[in-house]
Chains A and B, each alone.
Chain A
Amino acid sequence: MFMRKLFSLNKFRILVLWTAAVLCAGFSWLFAGSLQSENGKIMASGEEKPGVLAIINVKIVPVVGPEINSGTIIVEKDRIKAVGSNLELPAGAKVIDGQGLTAYPGMIDGFSSLGLVEISGVAATVDNRETGRINPQVKAIEALKYDSMHIPIARSNGIVAAVVASSGGLISGQSTLVKLDGWTNREMVIKESLAMVVELPGIRGARRGFMGTGAGEAAVTTERALAELRELFNRSRMYEKRRLAAARNLLLPPPDFDETSHYLLPVVKGELPVIFSVHADKDIVQVIKFVQEEKVKAIFYQVEQGFKVAEEISRAGIPCIIGSLYDLPPVWEDGYDSLYINPGILNKAGVKIAFSSSSASAAKDLPYHAAKAVAFGLDRNEALKAVTIYPAEIFGVDKILGSLEPGKLANIVLADGDLLELGTRIHRVFIEGREVDLSNRYTELLDKFRKREQKR
C-alpha cells in the first residue's frame, strides 16, 4: 500500500520532471538550435547539467561491498552520493525506477584501440601504429576520434572507460585513459598520460594464428629488446643529468635536444608507468628483473604464459592486463585452454588482473573475455572486479572509478541481467551522472532498414 503510494508519487514526480525537461529542451532548441547535434541526440553529451538523480528499486552490485537486492543509488551532479537499501530520496531528485534491473559500475577496458582504429583494413582510418620502432613521443589522446562508431557500441554494452593505446615497434607511445563520452577527444580524458606502451617480442616457436596474425615467431629476442631499452633509459638519465647541470651552471653546455630521451624521462623517473606486453614465461622472468633493476613502474599486458610464473609475477607485485582471449594458445604444449585458465591462475596467485578487449571493433566484448575466464576457473566476483575496480586500481583511478561507492564518479550501468552474460541487455548508462545515449551504428542501421519492412 505504502509502496504503491510511493510509486505513484514517484510517477508524478517523473511526469513533472519530464515536463520540465522537455520544456527546457524546447527552450534551448529555440534559442540555441545550433547546439543540437546533427543526428538530433542531445543526450549524448555536454550540455545537460546533471542534477540530483535517484535510481530506485534496483538490484545493486557495487563490486566493492555486499550486493543489495533492492536499493537506491543517489547521484549528485557527477558523483555518487549514497548507495543503500533504505535511503531517503532527496527533494527534487530525478527518479529512475530500476525495477527488474541491476546496477553495476561501468566497466573499464584495460587496453583498446578505441578511437584510433575505425575500419582496420582501410589505412585512412587507422591511427594506432606509427612507423619506426622507438616512439615514446606519440600520444594516443592526440589522435583519438571522439565520435568513432565503435565508442557508442562499447558504451551500450556497459563499458564507460577505456585505456586507449597505440601498438607496434618496441616503444609504441603513450596511452591514455578516457571515458566513453565527450564532444571532443579532450572532453573524454580521465588521465591523459597513463602509461608508456612497450612491446616485447613474442614467443619463440609460437604458431601463427588465424591468417598469420597471431603472435608468431619473434624476430628479436627479449634479451636484445631489454638491452636496447636499458640503453635508451640510460641515455635519458644522462640527458637529464646534463640538462640539469647546464641549467645550474652556465659554463656547462646543455645537450642537443633529444626527443626520445625527453619523452622517456617520466618513465626513468618512475613517474609514468610502463605497460610491457610480455608473453613467454622465461621472458616474463627476465622482464621482472629488468623492471626491478631499472626501478620502473610496470604493468604487464597479454602475459600468455603468465600461468607458468604466476608466483614470480605475484611476488614482484606487478599487475597484469590480460590480452584478448580470442586467440589460440601460442604453443600446443601449453594446452588448448591455456589462455582461458591463465587469468584464474594469476588471480589465485595474488596477481591483480584486468581484462582488455585489445580491440576497437570488438571493444564491446570486454565482459565476455572475463566470463570466459570464469568458465575456466576464475572466481565470478573476481572476474567482475577485473573489469571494474581492478583496472581502476591498476591505473590509479580507484578513488573515482571502478565501483558504486559514495564519492566516486557516477558511472552506472543498468542491466537486465548479469553484466558479463552474452544475452544481457544494457538498458541505461550514466557517465559522470549524465545519462548517455545508447543508440549506435547498429541500432541506427537496423531502424533505417526496418522501415522498409514496415512500409509494406
Chain B
Amino acid sequence: MKKRERKLIFLEGWKALAGLTLILAAISLPGVELAASPEVKPTYALVNCRIFPVSGPAIEKGTIVVRDGLIEAIGPAGKIKIPEDAEVIEASGLTAYPGLISAHTNLFLEVKQQEQPQTPAEFLSALSQPSEPQQFPDFLVLKELKPKKQTIESWHKTGFTTVVVAPSRGIFQGQSVILNLNGEQLNQMVIRQPWALHINFTTERGIYPSSLMGTVAFIRQKFYDTLHYDLHRKKYSASPLFLKRPEYDPFLEALIPFVVEKKPVVFQCNNQEDIKRALRLIEEFKLNGILAGCNEAWRVVEHLNRAKVPLLVTVDFRPPSVNIYNQQGEAVRKKAEAEIYPANPAVLLKENIHFALTGFGLSESSFLKNIQAAIRAGLPAEAAMKALTADSARILGLEKQLGTLEPGKIANLILTRGDLFAEKTRVVKVIVDGILFNYEEKSQ
C-alpha cells in the first residue's frame, strides 16, 4: 500500500498530468451522478407510516412514493396517490426518517497497521530506518476502498445511508469521498468524488516534522508554497516569455484546488488547541475549512462563534489524551467521559454553532449509546436527528440531494420500529438510492 502511494507521488510527469486532468474534470462537475445500473428498479409506496421528514412537521399517517432512486411524492395518507406500478409496503407501526449521514468515517478503508518489531534486532533496524513520509495530499481514498456487505448491513441497522470516507494516515491525509450505502459497487455508491482535503495535526516518526510545532510550520509552508506555485504557473501559462518554467510538483498540484480554489479542507481536531490551530490556518489562508472530531468544542465556543466554521462533531466522549481529565487518574477520567463531554453537542446547539454529528472513532453500538448520552445531557432528540441528516447534508454541500424527506431528493430513508435513538428501537427497513434493504427480524 505504501509503495503504491509513493508511486502516486513519483509518477512521471505526463502520466500524473493526465490523471490530474481527469481529477480536475471530476471536480469541475460537482455532484456528478454516475449512471445507474440498467436493471429495472421497482417503484415503492410506503403506506400508513409515521413520517419525520426533518424539513417540516411530522406526519402521523403518511405515504412515501419512491421511484428510480428518488422520492417522487410524500404526504399524509389520502393526499398522495399510490401509483399503479407501485409495490405497496404496509408500514403501519413504523416510522420513516431520512437516512442518517455520517459525515466523517474511515469505513471500508483497509489500513495496514505498521508491523511491530518482534526482536531487538528488528526494533533497532526499525529505529535506524527513518520512517517513510505519510503525506499525500493527492491520495484519493476512493482507490483504497473495499465495501463489504456485512459492514453495510451493520451501518444500515444503525440508521446510516450515507457516509463520508476520509483517509486516515499522515498530516496531509488525502481526499475523501461521499458514498451512498446502496450496495457494494463502488462507482454506483459515489455521491461526490473527491469531496475534501483532510489534514491531521499529527507527526512523522524520525523525519521532519516530528513535533506538533513542526507539523504546523510544515502545513503553513506547504500552503505558502502552493500559493507561489500557483502564481508561477498562472504567470507562465499567461506568458512563458522570459519566465523560468515552474518545476512540476505533484504535492503542490494536489493542494491547488483546496488552497487556491477553496474546495473544502477538513481539519481533524482532537482537542481544543487543535481547533484553535485549525482556525488560525483557515483564517491565514482563507480556506473553506471544516473541523472534524471536536469533542472539546465546548471549551472554545467563543472562537467557533467568531469563525463561523462548520463542525463534524464526533460523539466520542473520551477526553483527549492531553486533557487534564486524563492526567488526574482513572476516576476523574471516567467521570469526565460520562458526565462532562456528552454535553458538548448541547452546548454547541445553545451557542448556535453549525455542526453535524458523527460517530468517528466509535463502533456502531457505542455510537447509539453515546447519542443517547448526548440527549440525556441536554441535546433535544430532534436536534440530534437534524445534526445527522439535514445539517450534515448542508455541510457536505448536498442539501439539495439529501438530508430531508422531500420530493425530488435522493430516496435515502429508514423505517424504524420505535423512536429513533430510543433504546429498544430497531431499524427494520432501509432504502438507499431507492433500493430496499429488509432487516425485519424473521423470528418476530
Could you tell me which A residues sit within 8 Å of B by CB distance?
205, 207, 331-333
In B320-343, which residues have CB < 8 Å from any A CB?
327-332
Which residue of chain B has the shortest Cβ distance to A333 in the bound complex?
B329
In contact, B330 and A332 (Cβ under 8 angstroms): no
New A-B pairs, 8, CB < 8 Å, besides A207-B327, A331-B329, A333-B332:
A205-B329, A205-B330, A332-B327, A332-B328, A332-B329, A333-B328, A333-B329, A333-B331
Closest-by-CB residue of B relative to A332 is B328
Give the distance to chain B from A208, nearest Cβ to Cβ, in Å. Answer: 12
B328-363 vs A, Cβ < 8 Å mask (1 yes, 0 no): 111110000000000000000000000000000000
**Distance in Å: Cβ of B336 to nearest Cβ of chain A:** 13
Chain A residues positioned under 8 Å from B331 (CB to CB): 333
Q: What is the CA–CA distance of A379 and B47 in the complex, to the nearest angstrom? A: 84
Write out the residue numbers on chain A whose beta carbons fall within 8 Å of the beta carbon of B327. 207, 332
Residues of B near A331 (CB, < 8 A) are: 329
A/B interface sample: 11 pairs, CB < 8 A: A205-B329, A205-B330, A207-B327, A331-B329, A332-B327, A332-B328, A332-B329, A333-B328, A333-B329, A333-B331, A333-B332
A287 to B404, CA, bound (A): 66
Q: How close is A328's CB to chain B, nearest CB, in angstroms?
A: 12
Give, as a whole number of angstroms, the nearest-CB distance from B328 to chain A: 4
A370 to chain B minimum Cβ distance, whole angstroms, is 30
Bound complex: CA A332 to CA B329 (Å): 7
Q: How far is the CA of A333 from the CA of B335 in the complex (A)?
A: 14
CB distance from B373 to the nearest CB of A (A): 25
Interface of A, helix, strand, loop or mixed by DSSP? loop
- How near does chain B come to A303, taking the closest CB pair, in angstroms? 20
Closest to B324 in A: A332
The 9 closest A-B pairs by CB, nearest first: A332-B328, A333-B329, A332-B329, A332-B327, A331-B329, A333-B328, A207-B327, A205-B329, A205-B330
Nearest-neighbour CB distance to chain B for A202, whole angstroms, equals: 16
Residues of chain A within 8 A (CB-CB) of B332 are: 333
Find the A residue at minimum CB distance from B328.
A332
Q: Which B residues between 293 and 343 are near A, CB-CB below 8 angstroms? A: 327-332
List the B side residues contacting A333 at CB < 8 Å.
328-329, 331-332
- Enumerate chain A residues within 8 angstroms of B330, measured Cβ to Cβ: 205
By beta carbon, the residue of chain A nearest B331 is: A333
Instruction: Output the residue of B328, B329, B331, B332 with the most chain A CB within 10 A.
Output: B329
Give chain B residues whose Cβ lies under 8 Å from the Cβ of A332.
327-329
CB distance from A217 to the nearest CB of B (A): 13
Q: Give the docked Cα–Cα distance between A333 and B328 (Å).
A: 6
Min CB gap A325→B, angstroms:
21
Residue of B nearest to A334 (CB): B329
Q: How far is the CA of A333 from the CA of B334 in the complex (A)?
A: 14
Question: Min CB distance, B334 to chain A, in Å?
Answer: 13
Q: How far is the CB of A209 from chain B (nearest CB, A)?
A: 13
- The docked-state distance in angstroms from the alpha carbon of A331 to that of B330 is 11
* Minimum distance in angstroms from A377 CB to a CB of chain B: 24
CB distance from B437 to the nearest CB of A (A): 46
**How far, in Å, is B123 (CB) from chain A's closest CB?**
16
CA distance A331 to B331 in the complex (A): 12
C-alpha gap A333/B329 in the complex (Å): 7
When chains A and B are docked, how far (Å) is the Cα of A207 from the Cα of B331?
15
Q: Within the assembled complex, what's the spacing in Å between the Cα atoms of A67 and B83?
A: 109
**A238, chain B: closest CB distance, angstroms:** 34
Least Cβ–Cβ distance between B332 and chain A, in angstroms: 8
Report chain B residues within 8 Å CB of A207.
Answer: 327
B331 shortest CB reach to chain A, Å: 8
In the assembled complex, the CB of A441 is this many whole angstroms from the nearest CB of chain B, namely 37
- B329 CB contacts on chain A under 8 angstroms: 205, 331-333
B244 to chain A, nearest CB (A): 48
Q: How far is the CA of A226 from the CA of B239 in the complex (A)?
A: 81
In the complex the two chains form, what is the Cα distance from A429 to B329 in whole Å? 48
What is the CB-to-nearest-CB distance from B234 to chain A, in angstroms, rounded to a whole number?
A: 50
A228 to B329, CA, bound (A): 30
B263 to chain A, nearest CB (A): 42
Give the chain A neighbours of B328 by CB distance below 8 A. 332-333
Q: Once bound together, how far apart are the Cα atoms of A423 and B6, in whole Å?
A: 64
A333 to B330, CA, bound (A): 10
- Please measure, in the bound complex, the distance between the C-alpha atom of A331 and the C-alpha atom of B327, giving whole angstroms: 9
Docked Cα-Cα span, A207 to B330, in Å, equals 12
Docked complex Cα distance between A205 and B326 (Å): 12
Q: How far is the CB of B245 from chain A (nearest CB, A)?
A: 50
The CA-CA distance from A333 to B333 in the complex, in Å, is: 12
A332 and B332 CA atoms in complex are apart in Å by 10
- What is the CA–CA distance of A205 and B332 in the complex, to the nearest angstrom? 14
Bound Cα distance from A207 to B329, whole angstroms: 10
Q: Closest CB-CB distance, A332 to chain B, in whole Å?
A: 4
- How close is B294's CB to chain A, nearest CB, in angstroms? 26
* Closest CB in chain B relative to A300 CB, distance in Å: 24
Q: Report how far A371 CA is from B327 CA in the complex, Å.
A: 29
Chain B positions within 8 Å of A205 at CB level: 329-330
- A207 and B321 CA atoms in complex are apart in Å by 13
**Shortest distance in angstroms between A69's beta carbon and chain B's nearest beta carbon?**
50
Assembly CA distance A205 to B328 (angstroms): 10
Q: In the docked arrangement, what's the CA distance between A241 and B407, Å?
A: 94
CB distance from B347 to the nearest CB of A (A): 26
CB distance from B425 to the nearest CB of A (A): 39
Nearest CB in chain B: distance from A280 CB, A? 13
Distance in angstroms between the alpha carbons of A454 and B67 in the assembled complex = 101
A205 to B327 Cα, complex, angstroms:
10
| Chain B residue at minimum C-beta to C-beta distance from A207 | B327
CA distance A310 to B300 in the complex (A): 45
- The residue of chain B having its C-beta at the shortest distance from the C-beta of A331 within the complex is B329
Once the chains are docked, how many angstroms separate the CA of A331 from the CA of B328?
Answer: 7
Closest Cβ of chain B: how far from A175's Cβ, in Å? Answer: 32
B53 to chain A, nearest CB (A): 50
- Roughly how many angstroms separate A94 CA and B224 CA in the complex, as a whole number? 81
Please give the distance in Å from B327's CB to the nearest CB on chain A. 6
A301 to chain B, nearest CB (A): 25
Residue of A nearest to B330 (CB): A205
Q: How far is the CA of A207 from the CA of B324 in the complex (A)?
A: 13
**Distance in Å: Cβ of A213 to nearest Cβ of chain B:** 18
CB contacts under 8 Å to A, within B146-190, are none
